[in-house]
Amino acid sequence: MDGGARSDGAGSRAVGEPRPGGFAVTSMARAAMFRFQRWRRQQRLIARDPLALEPRVDPHAPELGFSHVYVADDGETARWLTSAAYADEAAKQDPIDVCHLAIDRFHTSLETGDRVARDQFLAIARGLLDAGRTVTLDGRRCFVMPHFDQVEGYAPHATPWVNAMVQGWTGGVFMRVHQLTGDPRYRDAAVDAVGPYFVAVERGGVRDIERNGRPFYEKYALPGQTRHVLNGFMSSLLSLWDISRASGDEDAHRAFEEGVATLDDTVLGTYDTGHTSLYDQQPDRIVTPACVFYTWVHARQLASLARITGQQRLAGWAASWRRYMDDAGHRAITTLECLGYRLSKYFAKVSRRP
């Protein structure tokens, strides 16, 4: 036996080499720490009033400034996305994370006049432009941000795929770059990013059909597996509005108007349990831990759409879902349902062990 290895009764391993299972344990510990840190951050965010929008947001000006759901946070998003706790997720280079980091740097430059933050915003946007592809989908010229990952909780699916939320965020980032620099490439890419909203999911786009016959822009645009994720849809609408008001593009305006019409009371009611809002439209209507944070997100998004459209009906839904966040009884019911969900997942996993 050479001096660099020893026997422990289970074969040889090098000195310093992790014991079998050690890597898995470390990975599980990191994952658990990440979930805890994410939960803490979400709790800090939802402590704020979801309807108290930052007053500097002007939803109708053609000059794009702060995003519609902006809150003054002094670079909090950037600190989270570049933190040690987020390192494993950051390594995946998820396009939505990149967009969030870009808009955080843009906000910081607006708040402080920081040239470094402005340059960081422009550099991130250049990376997004380079990572995207200009393709033809169903006869339409489209700029798409391809995703190559397998989405957790979905059946194995083809890649690359596109994400309505990312298409919109990318377009909003690009229009801000165009207004800062005058570079026509970014305006062209922003307008072309609207194309997939008119292409069916089955043909490579993000357009699905709601029960009222109107379009739904799918966050996880996977053929045969659409679940109508609400935050992704409403985020898309806010971005389409930005692209429309900044560029004057008629397709962006039409996609926005058609999408807002989708959000009638019947459709919104499918997400309402009476004490929380649901993340998506899965038939079992299971309340998951995601509901706690996303009820806050949904209220913010609906309030923003109400400010844009002047529809008090949407403001009423936002206020209703804010009450779910404020009411101790509603929160208790949601917490118990989330606990039941966690336990069911745990026991299902245990039952599959040999």
Domain assignment present for residue 38? The answer is no
Query: SS3 of 208, please?
Result: strand
Across residues 189-208, what is the average pLDDT?
A: 98
Confidence of residue 25 (pLDDT cuts 50, 70, 90): low
> Which of 261, 278, 296 is at the close of a domain?
261
Residue 29 has what pLDDT?
80
How much is the average pLDDT of 283-304? 89
Asked if residues 57 and 66 have their Cβ atoms less than 8 Å apart, the reply is yes
Q: Is there a single domain that holds both residue 205 and residue 297?
A: no
Looking at the structure, tell me whether residues 161 and 275 fall in a common domain: no
Answer with the one of 261, 277, 308 that is the final residue of a domain. Answer: 261
Taking a C-beta distance cutoff of 8 angstroms, is the pair 173, 123 a contact? no
Q: Are residues 243 and 268 in the same domain?
A: no
Of the candidate ranges 17-21, 66-70, 255-259, the one whose mean pLDDT is the lowest: 17-21
Residue 256 CB burial class (10 angstroms; 0-12, 13-18, ≥19): buried
Domain assignment present for residue 174? The answer is yes
Q: Are residues 217 and 172 in the same domain?
A: yes
Q: What is the mean pLDDT of residues 267-278?
A: 95
Number of independent structural domains in the chain: 2
- Please check whether residues 310 and 325 belong to one and the same domain: yes
Does some domain include residue 280? yes
CATH (domain of 135): 1.50.10.20
Per-residue pLDDT averaged across 212-222, rounded? 98
* pLDDT at residue number 24: 61
Q: Check whether residue 277 and residue 151 sit in a common domain.
A: no
- Domain of 285 in residue numbering reads as 263-346
* Residue 87 C-alpha from the chain's centroid: 18
Average pLDDT over residues 333-352: 84
What pLDDT was estimated at residue 15?
41
Q: How confident is the model at residue 19, as a pLDDT? A: 52
Shared domain for 300 and 249, answered yes or no, is no
**pLDDT value at position 284?**
84
The residue from 261, 282, 306 where one domain ends is 261
Report if residue 117 sits inside a domain: yes
Given this model, what pLDDT does residue 47 score? 84
Residue 17: what pLDDT?
46
141 lies in a domain?
yes
Alpha helix ranges (H) inside the chain: 22-46, 76-81, 87-90, 95-112, 115-131, 164-181, 184-192, 230-247, 250-262, 265-269, 290-309, 312-326, 328-351
How confident is the model at residue 191, as a pLDDT? 98
7 pLDDT more than 80: no
CA 319 to CA 313: how far, in whole Å?
A: 10
pLDDT value at 3 more than 60: no
DSSP string over 278-296: -SS--TT----THHHHHHH
| pLDDT score for 316 | 97
Residue 190: phi and psi, rounded to 5, are -65, -45
Check residue 21 and give its pLDDT.
56
Query: How confident is the model at residue 13, as a pLDDT?
Result: 40
Within-domain flag for 289: yes
Residue 96: count other Cβ atoms within 10 Å of its Cβ. Answer: 17
Do 163 and 248 lie in a common domain? yes
| DSSP 8-state symbol, 196 | G
Assess whether 205 and 101 both reside in one domain.
yes
Q: What does the pLDDT look like over 165-182, one tens digit per residue? A: 999 999 999 999 999 999
When pLDDT is cut at 50, 70 and 90, the band that residue 6 belongs to is: very low
Q: What is the largest distance, in Å, between two alpha-carbon atoms of the chain?
A: 79
Residues 236 and 99 occupy one common structural domain: yes
- pLDDT reading at 61 higher than 60: yes
How many Cβ atoms from other residues are within 10 Å of residue 176's Cβ?
25
Give the residue-averaged pLDDT of 109-131.
96
Q: Quick one: pLDDT band at residue 11, thresholds 50, 70, 90?
A: very low
Say if 65 falls within a structural domain.
no
Whether residue 329 is contained in a domain is answered as yes
Q: Can you tell me the distance from the alpha carbon of 100 to that of 77, in angstroms, rounded to the nearest whole number?
A: 7
Same domain assignment for residues 98 and 109 = yes
DSSP string, 316-344: HHHHHHHHHHH-HHHHHHHHHHHHHHHHH
* Shared domain check, 120 and 253: yes
* Predicted confidence (pLDDT) per residue in 69-119, tens digit: 877 677 788 889 899 989 888 888 899 999 999 999 999 999 999 999 999
Q: SS3 for 224?
A: coil
Asked whether the beta carbons of 146 and 160 are under 8 A apart, the reply is: yes
